[in-house]
Structure 1
Amino acid sequence: MAQPTDPAPRPAPLRVPASAWLRPALLLVGGLLLAALLLAVDQRVAALAMALFALLMGYWTSPLRSGQHTPLASALAARGPGDSVILWAPGDPLSARLQTAVRSTRTDVTWVNVYRDAEAAQLLAEHGGREALPLVLLGDGTEVRRASVGAFLDASAAAQEAAGRSDSDGPDPA
């Protein structure tokens, strides 16, 4: 009996580049050095606060933070005319800014972590690679590379308007 074969090989997920660890390492080391300096001048509370802040920022800016993730195939299948799919990567500053500004309560936005999804990594490579992050795919076919918060909100509003949504029909943009 013939064994079933996989119809198409799946691409490998995007590897986390070593440079993605530079910012978190610098934040962690710098914060811990400042905490040690504060401890040396007998400022224990401030030293503890600084050490905790350094740990938080090191984690927040590192590829360890997995964040929201939906597989690309599911995100594209569920995307409506006024909806957005955002390809992002942990440790990418623009991705972090966009995630901070665009809250998770928005039902018209789906997040795809390119380090966890091979198809998303392949799509990102087709659009310019890591330099295109965050990559916003709107339901009307519009793509926004290196999307800032303002560029995303403008493109999203235009896509929702083209889809026939009014402000009262769609989710709050902030």
Structure 2
Amino acid sequence: MQRYLWLVVLVAGGLLAWSLRQEPLSALLAVLLTAAAAWWLSPLAHGTSRKHRDVIDLPDGERRVIVYWRPGCIFCERLRGGLGEDAKRVHWVNIWQDAEAAEFVRSVNDGNEVVPTVVIDGVAHTNPDPRAVRDALSS
């Protein structure tokens, strides 16, 4: 269900806008806000994600930093924003699109799907400070 939360938000927003059709400005505002929320929750909002298996199969030097994330996670957004341009140098793996990735995240977080889970040089870190990730990328 969580994987399709963006779609649920979009449909709910459409229904809300329909109910507000007598007030066009309110209906428009409802459409715009729900479209923005649905986009933020959508896996499409952040470009393509890699698959867990594809990243693990890369040579050691090419997979220095891996971030396991999910759409709608404010902590993931904090990390992405804190990395700035360095975010492009990280392998992003969406746990809602990859069951093996979700299983890995649970295995290093006491059975919980806590994101962002960042693997730096083979060591998992749960919700690290963006500066620590930037430092790992620069060293």
Which category of TM-score, normalised to the shorter sequence, fits these structures? 0.5 to 0.7
The count of residues paired between Structure 1 and Structure 2 equals 137
Structure 1 position 127 matched with structure 2 position 116 = no
Match of 2:131 in 1: 154
Q: Is the 8 A contact 2:83 2:134 kept in 1?
A: no
Structure 1 position 58 matched with structure 2 position 38 = yes
Structure 1 position 110 matched with structure 2 position 87 = no
Report the CA distance between 1:48 and its aligned residue.
1.3
TM-score (norm. length: structure 2): 0.65
Q: Kindly, what percent of the aligned residue pairs are identical?
A: 26
Question: For 2:2 and 2:108, how far apart are their aligned partners in 1?
Answer: 18
Report the CA distance between 1:57 and its aligned residue.
0.7
Query: What is the one-letter code of the residue matched to 1:58?
Result: A
Report the CA distance between 1:61 and its aligned residue.
2.0
Question: For 2:125 and 2:82, how far apart are their aligned partners in 1?
Answer: 16
C-alpha spacing 1:82/1:26, structure 2 compared with 1 (3 Å): closer
Query: What is the one-letter code of the residue matched to 1:90?
Result: P
Query: What is the one-letter code of the residue matched to 2:53?
Result: A
Match of 1:136 in 2: 118
Matches within 5 A, 1:6-155: 16-17=1-2, 21=5, 25=8, 29=12, 33=16, 36=19, 40=22, 42=23, 44-45=24-25, 47-62=27-42, 67-76=47-56, 77-78=58-59, 80=61, 83-102=64-83, 106-128=87-109, 129-139=111-121, 141-147=122-128, 151=129, 153-155=130-132
Question: For 2:112 and 2:47, how far apart are their aligned partners in 1?
Answer: 18
CA RMSD across the alignment: 3.8
Residues 46-66 of structure 1: CA deviation (Å, up to 9, x unaligned): 531431221221342256768
Report the CA distance between 1:155 and its aligned residue.
1.4
C-alpha spacing 1:59/1:108, structure 2 compared with 1 (3 Å): closer
Larger radius of gyration: 1
C-alpha spacing 1:155/1:89, structure 2 compared with 1 (3 Å): same
Structure 2: state its 5+ residue gaps. Answer: none
Question: For 2:38 and 2:87, how far apart are their aligned partners in 1?
Answer: 27
TM-score (norm. length: structure 1): 0.55
